Chains A and B, each alone.
Chain A
Amino acid sequence: MREPRVLRFFQLWPQTGAEPLGDVGFRWLSGCCALLVPLLIWAIFVQLLYYSLPTIKTFGLGFLFSQTWNPVTQEFGAASSIFGTLISTLIAMLLAVPLSMVIALLLVELAPPWISRVIGTLIELLAAIPSIIYGMWGLFVFAPFMADYVQPALGHTLGFLPLFQGPPMGIGMLTAGIILAFMILPFITMITRDVFTLVPPVVKESAYGMGSTTWEVTYKVTIPYGLVGVLGAGFLGLGRALGETMAVTFVIGNTHRISASLFAPGNSIASCLANEFAEATEPLYVSALIALGLVLFIVTYLVQVLSQILLRRMYRAWSVGL
């Protein structure tokens, strides 16, 4: 009984050879919406650059290398924030990349499918938890844990290194880096899992046939085969870690200072923006903060683009859709 009605419905719009007006309109409308996203990225860049101009004029390139950050005397330098961003991200990457690799290995090669599905879902949920919740947990639960157990132990055993000296306060660069690692872990794991799954079974089976162990197959066949994709996953995680704001703001300590010790508080570009932006009133202060944002924008943009190019190249080469 349904068909005739549907038929009648469509006959209200007879095809007359030329493209119907509704079609042209709809294509244009949807095309404009698709254009919106690239335009937004350009608009963000232009706006940030425009508002950074006073800072660039006043401090020039020295802005990137000066450590002074003094709103009272109107002197601003980004060095401590850039340093903090790089160090916390480095810690995060050092921890998250190997962990993600072995979790992906378990999900693809070792665990039976149903276990792998359950673990995969749980790890994905880890990515869904908002940044601010990581911040709350980091400040009230994880930082005291670090101060009571991890930092004293590290100071005791590795205290001869300047990296692990100073009072165990809980908050600081190391804690921020570790929480960042937890946050980017699921992103890297998920893409690495996909890459591992996409490696043709024949290739792996040949290596197994030669008598390789699971680890040898992964290390010598799967990872080299999917290297482009694994790198893409790494850069994606890197981009996230660089710009992660709230969780870092909670635990990094928020001081404009460069210290050798990882126990010492510091700040990152994102945490500096989160802390000071709403209170900044002087035009030059606001401009300096936006210039920090511009630095962050350019760095994350390049990292994201690199990661997209790598992932796309892999998916293209293996002719599967992204």
Chain B
Amino acid sequence: MNRRPPTGRRLINFLVSGFSVLASLLGIFLLGWIILEVIYRGLTAINFDFFIKLPTPPGMAGGGLGNAIAGTLAMTGLATLIAVPLGLLGGVYLAEYGEDSRLADNSRFSANVLMGMPSIIIGVFIYAIVVVPLKHFSGYAGALALAIIMLPVISRTTEDMLRLVPNTLRETALALGAPRWKVTVLIVFRAARAGLITGGLLGVARVSGETAPLLFTALNSPYWFRSLGEPMANLTVTIFNYAMSPYRDWQQMAWGASLLITVGVLALNLTARFVLQEKR
């Protein structure tokens, strides 16, 4: 065994420590750089019209992305309505009934895999089963794609949060003669409320910035939507189209939309954290 002098070992340790501080600073610097750049470039695009007007052709002043904001809200809302009940119930099965059964094991495993699945694949899937048979792009298809992305997030956080509820609480209620489902819905849900809200918020945050699954499900549209059954304007695809266009004012609009999305997603994330910490 060759021995190195202690100073050499200490030097390496010092260098590695320094490197780790630098790497962490790089991470923080990146976060700051991205956020500041988005605020700096996006703020000039944001005014009252931005929220309520329709987009204008390139070169024409004024206009806004009111339709895209409404579209994103509607699709995210519908996706939440689909994914939250299904995910919640799935999580209940994993935590309360299935535990180590084969179904629960499979479901847990698949949820983890689905969470890491590229979202564009979900878009292709929905294109194949919804858009092709109906022969047109629609807001429903977009919402469905978002719901599939949200489902495993909700189901896994629900399970984790329900597992934190102490068993004595369940036993107490069962001892009073309550059926299991009542114990779950009235007692366990109530005890885990903060966690469940966190899961929901994280799920919404996860999908509200998604672009890839909407590209060929909801597509985009320059008009207000009359129903969810037609191609639907949304913020993220608008950002993509406008950013790739050669027009300066459209790119400016894309920055405004980016600011809106970033603020929304970060706010949802911070709220989720806050809710959970409040509880603890």
Q: Closest CB of chain A to B88's CB: distance in Å? A: 8
**B116 interface residue, CB < 8 Å from A?**
yes
B24 touches A119 (CB 8 A): yes
**A214 interface residue, CB < 8 Å from B?**
yes
**B155 interface residue, CB < 8 Å from A?**
yes
Interface SS of A by simple majority:
helix
Interface SS of B by simple majority:
helix
State the CA gap A83–B118 with chains docked (Å): 18
State the CA gap A294–B178 with chains docked (Å): 49
**Chain A 281-308, CB within 8 Å of chain B: the 1/0 string?**
0000000011001001100110011011
State the CA gap A250–B263 with chains docked (Å): 21
- B119 — which chain A residues lie within 8 A by C-beta? 243, 245
Q: Please pick, from A103, A136, A236, A245, the residue contacting B23 in the complex, using a CB distance under 8 A.
A: A103
- B17 — which chain A residues lie within 8 A by C-beta? 106, 110, 214-215
Interface residues of A in 298-322 (CB under 8 A from B): 300-301, 304-305, 307-308, 312, 321-322
State the CA gap A169–B251 with chains docked (Å): 20
**Chain A 25-56, CB within 8 Å of chain B: the 1/0 string?**
11101111111111011011001101100000
B13 touches A134 (CB 8 A): no
Q: Please pick, from A38, A50, A297, the residue contacting B121 in the complex, using a CB distance under 8 A.
A: A297
Residue from A6, A129, A249 having most chain B Cβ neighbours under 10 A: A129
**Chain A 127-155, CB within 8 Å of chain B: the 1/0 string?**
01111111111011100000000000000
**A73 interface residue, CB < 8 Å from B?**
no
A122 touches B28 (CB 8 A): yes
Stretch at the interface among A7-15, A60-68, A199-207, A256-264: A7-15
- A273 — which chain B residues lie within 8 A by C-beta? 120, 123-124
State the CA gap A119–B31 with chains docked (Å): 11
Interface residues of B in 256-280 (CB under 8 A from A): 258, 261-262, 265-266, 269, 273
A296 touches B262 (CB 8 A): no
A132 touches B152 (CB 8 A): no
**A91 interface residue, CB < 8 Å from B?**
no
**Chain A 152-185, CB within 8 Å of chain B: the 1/0 string?**
0000000000000000000000000000001001
**B10 interface residue, CB < 8 Å from A?**
yes
Residue from A37, A43, A243, A296 having most chain B Cβ neighbours under 10 A: A37
Interface residues of B in 197-247 (CB under 8 A from A): 205, 208-212, 215-216, 219, 236, 239-240, 243-244
Interface residues on B, range: 35 or more
A132 touches B125 (CB 8 A): no
Interface residues of B in 107-160 (CB under 8 A from A): 107-114, 116-125, 127-129, 148, 151-152, 155
**B166 interface residue, CB < 8 Å from A?**
no
**B30 interface residue, CB < 8 Å from A?**
yes
- B244 — which chain A residues lie within 8 A by C-beta? 250
Q: Please pick, from B30, B41, B114, the residue contacting A140 in the complex, using a CB distance under 8 A.
A: B41
Q: Closest CB of chain A to B68's CB: distance in Å? A: 13
Given A243-B118, A274-B120: A15 touches B179 (CB 8 Å cut-off): yes
Q: Write the chain A residue with the least CB distance to B177.
A: A15
State the CA gap A135–B251 with chains docked (Å): 13
A274 touches B20 (CB 8 A): no
Q: Closest CB of chain B to A34's CB: distance in Å? A: 4
Q: Write the chain B residue with the least CB distance to A243.
A: B118
Given A43-B125, A140-B41, A278-B215: A31 touches B181 (CB 8 Å cut-off): no
Q: Please pick, from B107, B184, B255, B262, the residue contacting A130 in the complex, using a CB distance under 8 A.
A: B262
Given A22-B181, A122-B28: A132 touches B113 (CB 8 Å cut-off): no
State the CA gap A21–B198 with chains docked (Å): 32
**A126 interface residue, CB < 8 Å from B?**
yes
Residue from B155, B262, B273 having most chain A Cβ neighbours under 10 A: B262
B103 touches A35 (CB 8 A): yes
Q: Closest CB of chain B to A214's CB: distance in Å? A: 6
Could you write out 24 A-B pairs with CB less than 8 Å apart? Answer: A10-B182, A15-B179, A31-B97, A34-B103, A41-B114, A48-B121, A102-B23, A103-B24, A106-B24, A107-B24, A119-B28, A129-B34, A129-B209, A129-B266, A130-B211, A130-B265, A215-B17, A236-B116, A245-B118, A246-B212, A290-B128, A296-B120, A296-B121, A300-B117
Apart from A27-B180, A44-B122, A300-B118, list 8 A-B contacts with CB within 8 A.
A15-B177, A37-B111, A106-B24, A107-B24, A110-B17, A119-B27, A215-B13, A273-B120
Point out residues on B near A: beta carbons under 8 Å.
9-10, 12-13, 16-17, 19-21, 23-24, 26-28, 30-31, 33-34, 37-38, 41, 86-87, 89-90, 92-94, 96-98, 103-104, 106-114, 116-125, 127-129, 148, 151-152, 155, 163, 173, 176-182, 184, 205, 208-212, 215-216, 219, 236, 239-240, 243-244, 251, 254-255, 258, 261-262, 265-266, 269, 273
Point out residues on A near B: beta carbons under 8 Å.
6-7, 10-11, 13-15, 20, 22-23, 25-27, 29-38, 40-41, 43-44, 47-48, 50-51, 99, 102-103, 105-107, 110, 119, 121-123, 125-126, 128-137, 139-141, 182, 185-186, 189, 213-216, 236, 239-240, 242-246, 249-250, 270, 273-274, 277-278, 289-290, 293, 296-297, 300-301, 304-305, 307-308, 312, 321-322
